Structure 1
């Protein structure tokens, strides 16, 4: 009743269809239609995943994904012990990007990183020290184990992680609110 072509008297103008993605000539849609590039939605196949993403630049997320798909034997074994909140009810994640680095295992809520190092890390001690300094400067605690420790003494490794979780660092006095020290 209240419909006039392209207009509803009660609700106002009706939405118009978007032009098809592809090379339809502009004249097929009329002179009053804005150019295809002016439409708010991307064309089919659009720009998903393309173009600069400044909030992700410098983060090694693709490499972390590849490392999660190809764990070492020691990482696989330790993950079975860490996953599903089995240690102190704390959630761990595998291959977590932290700044420009990738942590083998990270408990974000506790700011604890667990690293499992193979023989190649013996030759890269200076790199690992710098990496640890960076992570600690970001507020993380870092503990390291050799592959052979994880493979040969998993119970001892798990106990060490439990102790590290129990030894939460005391908060810095500058972060405490006034009056909260004495209750």
Structure 2
């Protein structure tokens, strides 16, 4: 979830009632737009990417299932099909699929402070995983358009500590 100004590193210093403040706490410092143009670029690209996919246009809760012909979600952990729902878990992964549209994403969230190796779902013989987002990489490599994204050559992905990764299955 983003608030106005987050794309420029605006902060309310933890205040969730800044709407009633008429001071630096709620003002947007427009000089930060140029200073943090890398973050603005990332946010704009991510918004454009998500708006281009029908999986994000669903008006109902996605079913949690394997192999459905309807848009669906599958939860994982560092190992496929084994999400860690414990209170001390620091990692989670999930796959989003829209079979009719041929959309297949694998999202990795590593909140742990060290890198973790995440298994990747198997794909058809004509598909490969491509890295769209890796927040551990410096700008502009943190986001790549699908047509120029790097192929993932392994059946696992190393997610750096405190990072998020979005992989997309593309037929080539």
| TM-score between the two structures when normalised by the length of structure 1 | 0.29
| TM-score between the two structures when normalised by the length of structure 2 | 0.30
Q: Which has the higher helix share?
A: 1
Q: Which has the higher strand share?
A: 2
- Structure of greater relative contact order (alpha carbons < 8 Å, 6+ residues apart): 2
* Structure index of larger Rg: 1
